[in-house]
Amino acid sequence: MKIWINKTVTENPSNDFNEAIRFDMLDDGTKSNLKTNFEEIWRRFAKAKLESVYEDLLVVAATVYAVDKRIPRSGIYSGETYDNWTRTLEVSIPVIDINKWITVKDELEKTLHFLSGDSWKLYFRRTEQQYRNCNYEKKYSIIKNNFDGVALFSGGLDSFSGAIKLLEDSKNICFVGCREYYALRKRIKELFKLIKNEYPERNIDEIVFYTDSGYPRNVDESIKKKFREDTSRSRSFLFLAAALATASLIGNEIPVYIPENGFIGLNLPLTPSRLGSCSTRTTHIYFLNHYNGILRKLGIRHKIENFFSLKTKGEIVDMVKKSNAFIQGAGRTISCSHPMRGAKGVPGRPRNCGYCFPCLIRRASLNNIEIDDEYLDTFIKDYKISTTFIKNSKFSDPNNGRTKDLKAVLFALHEYLKNGSIDYYVNKMINLGGLNIEDIKHFARVYIKSMEEIKEMIEHQAKLNDMELLEYIKAGFKNE
């Protein structure tokens, strides 16, 4: 699949990309099918533009995100995805500092392959056009530039806990949020207002950006609506690019924080079938290490740090559970993988469904500190984790969204109860590759502790509903 990216002006593709589908990221947003509000980043700092390498990084990241969201893994182009998953993507991207990007081309392709599971071929072409480097009429609230770092603020429980940890440590932080869907912006604003009120002595501010990719051009109208993809593996690459651009406006070597628990970050496949497509790597240590390596080669002096990488989600919430901000806001955070669907009977969106993998880990973490979240209580009422629920849920149906993640978690828990020594998980991580032995030992501890949190949550649920559940886990899935 060939993709051509236009920036600020429309231009004719080269011969090799003459038939390529096209995304236009133009100064006049109404003519674009790749819309952003990136200029808010530098306008909020009273700047007319970014340094060219950071602008290029935003354009590259927005391109990757648009392609990831709009090029289907199966269906009309399934012939190009030999396994109905891995796409072959050839993308021509306009950049200003072309020599720098040619230097990191191979490393960036490998990193994107690890992140999204696709085969990426990037072709950079030179441009002198700068994105929205023009006069503007909108009045922006100017940010007071006195920060110790930039932190991702997604609206999730980990990023919210990370914000509290940074502010409790007397850090002045500029938070960057990503409005992945419209309802999320309001929730991010609500959580930010809460921590701002709780820490008036800190200098904190927030920027919420968006990147919306419409249907690509040069695609027949009869099949255009099939150009969509829900996996969104590249979101963290884009999210971090916006945070790095923000850090560049604050000062040299300003760190960028991405608070995420090590269990989700490593995301060791819960079942053998999740080795590839179902195992996301958005905050994996391998991805973050390689991203940092690419930044160094580009001459970008900001480092991405995850200070929660060796913590379980339960350990994270235990660190901040006594703060007023956590007590007031934890129940409003969104951990769900499909928050615009949400749980039955719970009004308002976004909301936590209670049965996807992130929701199950969220529940286990809150159970760890003996808190029942209001959204997770709905899970108890409507989606009981019991042998009755399991037996009536058609685990054999791979499209049953309410049970596929639960089954994977229970399968992993069964494996843990059967084999759960640290050596067993050290060997599993060695076989997966991408980590040195010291990292592996640390993450093996995180994995085992996370499984203990899940087990305790299941035991708590079993006492409420069905003690046979524990026997079901111990017996495994022989009859499924």
Domain for residue 292, yes or no?
Answer: no
| Residue ranges making up the domain that contains 428 | 330-475
- How sure is the predictor about 120, in pLDDT bands with cuts at 50, 70 and 90? very high
Pairing of strands 256-257, 149-152: parallel
What is the mean predicted confidence (pLDDT) over 60-86? Answer: 78
Domain for residue 418, yes or no?
Answer: yes
Residues 6+ apart with CB under 8 A from 394: 400, 403
Q: Which of 225-239, 280-294, 312-326, 327-341: highest mean pLDDT?
A: 312-326
- Domain count of the fold of the chain: 1
CB 235 within 8 A of CB 65: yes
Domain for residue 354, yes or no?
Answer: yes
Query: For residue 476, is pLDDT > 70?
Result: no
Domain for residue 405, yes or no?
Answer: yes
Domain for residue 1, yes or no?
Answer: no
Q: How far apart are CA 228 and CA 61, in angstroms?
A: 18
Domain for residue 278, yes or no?
Answer: no
Q: How far apart are CA 447 and CA 158, in angstroms?
A: 17
Domain for residue 104, yes or no?
Answer: no
User: What rounded mean pLDDT belongs to the chain?
Assistant: 86
Domain for residue 250, yes or no?
Answer: no
Q: Is the peptide bond before 94 cis (omega within 30 degrees of 0)?
A: no
Pairing of strands 34-36, 173-178: unpaired
* Higher per-residue confidence, 83 vs 284: 284
Q: ∠ CA 268-210-177 to the nearest 5 degrees?
A: 60
Residue type, 442: H
* Higher per-residue confidence, 139 vs 242: 242
